[in-house]
Amino acid sequence: MFARFPSLAWAGLLALGLQATQVAAISKISAVGSKFFTADGDQFFVKGVAYQLTDNDPLVDTAQCKLDAALMKELGANTIRVYHVDPTEDHDGCMSAFESAGIYLFVDLETFDSSISQSNPYWNSTQLKAYEAVLDTFHDYDNLAGVLIGNEVLTMTNGSWAAPYVKAAARDVKAYRDSKGYRKIPVGYAAADIASLRPMLQDYLACSANSSENIDFYSLNAYEWCGDNTYSGSGYSMLQKNATGYSVPIFFSETGCNSAPPRTFQDQNAIFGPEMSDTWSGAIIYEWIEEANKYGLISYGPSLAATAAATATDIVGGFTRRGTPTPISPDFSNLKSVWKTLTPSGVKLSEYTASVSSITPLACPASTSGGWEVDPSSPLPTLDQTATAAGSGSTGTSGSGSGNGSGSGTAGSTGAASTSSGAAAPGARAPMATIFAQGTASAAFVAYSALVGFTGFMAWWL
């Protein structure tokens, strides 16, 4: 009688073991030189979709992840990018659903209240702890392709003073990763495509002789190629020129301009083709879910009146946020057909390794008054160091208008003119941005945040 228990347990273990061997483990990604490779020695090209169904962690609903992963596999995607996760939640079900579909993940480490600010840049141990918690939660998943230190921290020419804090964050996250004995999970940054910061930010983040102080990859949110265009007409030839000789992997962390619908994703031909694939490691399409910004590849149901949105569950901003994904036509099938034809094999790690030692960082960009104002010889800020910006003295009281860092003669290079295409990036945190836009315009918000503090507000809002 008692013997039944051990044998049942044994049968259970055996079944688990069989299950484990049936699911072939996904081959882990690492950054070597200026490319990504799988542990099998093949070059890895990102074919991704941005995946953030609501402002909440999208990696906690296993049933939903399974539905989405299956359709992503049909699309030909091998990667998702997630902007916000909650490190206290259980992600096993979703991570395994995506792994089973052959899908990797780039996760942003910033939580809602820990991102680096352009207008008041600093990098402190509270932020580092928040980033570490996300890394602790995700490091052990084989399909974690990489983590992001920030998304579009710098959006204006006069934001260059924030760059050292982004770089310091990468340094500290990498040091933490290594101190914990985690695998060398690539640590990178997702940049806004700002012509006046290009290519200085890109070069700055990877220019140190000491690689512990550099990002492991750089990625760009670029909406330059809209509708029918060409490699040179779109501006991509300039992106390629800027990235030539770059010492770490680079890819598009958002792309898919929608100003000339329907989307045909022609730019993918350039990215994965002979013009760019020797330099770029692929692209993430913005975005999976259809919402008000009309960038969706799928929808979970028709858009609804605001009144319905206010009451029904799983509906935010008039869009259903879970359920069975239905392809948006023809964007979904357009992307699927384009990706199907694009399968660069790249280079084998075994052939590439010998050349890696000859890859050297590009020079740190020179400081220019009214432009890129980061002294290339300045050491990175230490953790918790009080912010001092190049060209603008001490910060501390960062009222807008007190900053003299922009100097004279920069007016033409800020604002809308700063993106080369004129097509505004949608901003992956649109609902959040909306809250801020409304909030900062409202005296009630200012009074309220002064009263309870910003983090209190965030806790309330979440």
Ligand X SMILES: *[C@@H]1O[C@H](CO)[C@@H](O)[C@H](O)[C@H]1NC(C)=O
What are the residue numbers of the active site?
A: 152, 254
**Position 121, amino acid:** P
Q: Does 19 bind ligand X (CB under 6 A)?
A: no
Q: What are phi and psi of 315, to 5 degrees?
A: -120, 125
- Cβ atoms of residues 316 and 278 within 8 Å: no
> Which helix or strand (DSSP H or E) is residue 149 part of?
strand 144-151
Q: Say which residues have a Cβ less than 8 Å from residue 116's Cβ, sequence separation at least 6.
A: 110, 122, 123, 127, 149, 150, 153, 162, 165, 166, 169
What is the DSSP-derived secondary structure letter of residue 190? E
Q: How far is the CB of 251 from ligand X (least distance, A)?
A: 17
- Cβ atoms of residues 87 and 118 within 8 Å: no
What is the DSSP-derived secondary structure letter of residue 58? T
The residue from 33, 150, 188, 199 that contacts ligand X (CB under 6 A) is 199
**Residue placing its CB nearer to ligand X in the complex, 404 or 438:** 404
Q: Does 364 bind ligand X (CB under 6 A)?
A: no
Q: Does 198 bind ligand X (CB under 6 A)?
A: yes
**Residue placing its CB nearer to ligand X in the complex, 279 or 406:** 406
Q: How far is the CB of 111 from ligand X (least distance, A)?
A: 12
Q: How many residues interact with ligand X (rule CB under 6 A)? A: 26
Q: Does 406 bind ligand X (CB under 6 A)?
A: yes
Q: Say which residues have a Cβ less than 8 Å from residue 320's Cβ, sequence separation at least 6.
A: 299, 300, 301, 304, 314
Q: How far is the CB of 405 from ligand X (least distance, A)?
A: 4
Subset of 365-384 contacting ligand X (CB under 6 A): 384
Q: Does 124 bind ligand X (CB under 6 A)?
A: yes
Kind of pairing between the strands at 298-299 and 326-327 = antiparallel
Q: Does 402 bind ligand X (CB under 6 A)?
A: yes
Binding track, positions 437-456, relative to ligand X; x by CB under 6 A: ------------------x-
The residue from 57, 213, 290, 373 that contacts ligand X (CB under 6 A) is 213
The residue from 58, 146, 371, 403 that contacts ligand X (CB under 6 A) is 403
Q: Does 269 bind ligand X (CB under 6 A)?
A: no
- Cβ atoms of residues 327 and 259 within 8 Å: no
Q: In this chain, which residue has its C-beta nearest to ligand X?
A: 403
State both tokens at 315. Answer: 């509906």
Q: Does 238 bind ligand X (CB under 6 A)?
A: yes
- Cβ atoms of residues 72 and 80 within 8 Å: yes
Place of tokens 């730019």: 267
Q: Does 408 bind ligand X (CB under 6 A)?
A: no
The residue from 22, 210, 350, 358 that contacts ligand X (CB under 6 A) is 210
Place of tokens 């002789």: 209
Scanning 54-62, 69-77, 87-95, 400-408 for contacts with ligand X by CB under 6 A, the matching segment is 400-408
Q: How far is the CB of 34 from ligand X (least distance, A)?
A: 16
Q: Is 450 exposed, middle or buried (0-12, 13-18, 19+ CB in 10 A)?
A: exposed
Q: How far is the CB of 165 from ligand X (least distance, A)?
A: 12
The C-alpha atoms of residue 448 and residue 440 are separated, in whole angstroms, by 11
The residue from 404, 434, 438, 442 that contacts ligand X (CB under 6 A) is 404
Q: How far is the CB of 297 from ligand X (least distance, A)?
A: 28
Q: Does 334 bind ligand X (CB under 6 A)?
A: no
Q: Does 414 bind ligand X (CB under 6 A)?
A: yes
C-alpha radius of gyration, the chain, whole number: 23
Q: Does 195 bind ligand X (CB under 6 A)?
A: yes
- Cβ atoms of residues 391 and 236 within 8 Å: no
Scanning 1-9, 117-125, 255-263, 301-309 for contacts with ligand X by CB under 6 A, the matching segment is 117-125
Q: How far is the CB of 101 from ligand X (least distance, A)?
A: 37
Scanning 48-56, 121-129, 217-225, 250-258 for contacts with ligand X by CB under 6 A, the matching segment is 121-129
State both tokens at 91. Answer: 């992600």
- Cβ atoms of residues 314 and 287 within 8 Å: no
Q: Say which residues have a Cβ less than 8 Å from residue 174's Cβ, sequence separation at least 6.
A: 187, 212, 216
State both tokens at 448. Answer: 């309220």
Binding site for ligand X (CB under 6 A): 119, 124-126, 156, 158, 171, 195, 198-199, 210, 212-213, 238, 241-242, 384, 400, 402-406, 414, 420, 455
